[in-house]
Amino acid sequence: MSDVLDADEIAGALPDGWHHDADADEIARTFEFDSYLEGVGFAAGAGGLAEEAFHHPSMTVEWREVEVRLTTHDAGGVTGKDIDLAERLNELAG
């Protein structure tokens, strides 16, 4: 079981571009792209990272942007697993 982080811990650990949606108990970032298909490709790559981590984000693919939201369902809140995957998604996006 991963330990749920409190708001201050989340604030101190958020990777660039991510914010804490306290109401939803998630961290989120909207990644922007030059084309719809670049966003689709990013989402596919994110899916691969999610499978590697066995930790899965919610993703909404829209015109030239992909919204990614993360929480740890098993723990009932945001944990280090979410922070770690968010960092890897930032690397993927470049």
Binding positions for ligand H2B, rule: CB under 6 A:
54-56, 71-74
- Minimum distance from residue 53 beta carbon to ligand H2B (Å): 8
Q: Are 87 and 32 in contact (CB under 8 A)?
A: no
Q: Tell me the CA distances in angstroms from 68 to 1, 37, 87, one per residue in order.
A: 23, 16, 12
Count helices and strands (H / E) in the chain.
3, 4
Quote the least distance from Cβ 34 to ligand H2B, whole Å: 28
Give 64 or 69: the residue with its C-beta nearer to ligand H2B: 69
Nearer to ligand H2B (CB atom), residue 54 or residue 63: 54
For residue 38, the minimal CB distance to ligand H2B (Å) is 24
CB of 15 or CB of 64, closer to ligand H2B: 15
CB nearest ligand H2B: which residue? 74
Cβ at position 73, least distance to ligand H2B in Å: 4
Are 41 and 64 in contact by the 8 Å Cβ rule? The answer is no
Neighbouring residues of 8: CB distance < 8 A, sequence distance ≥ 6: none
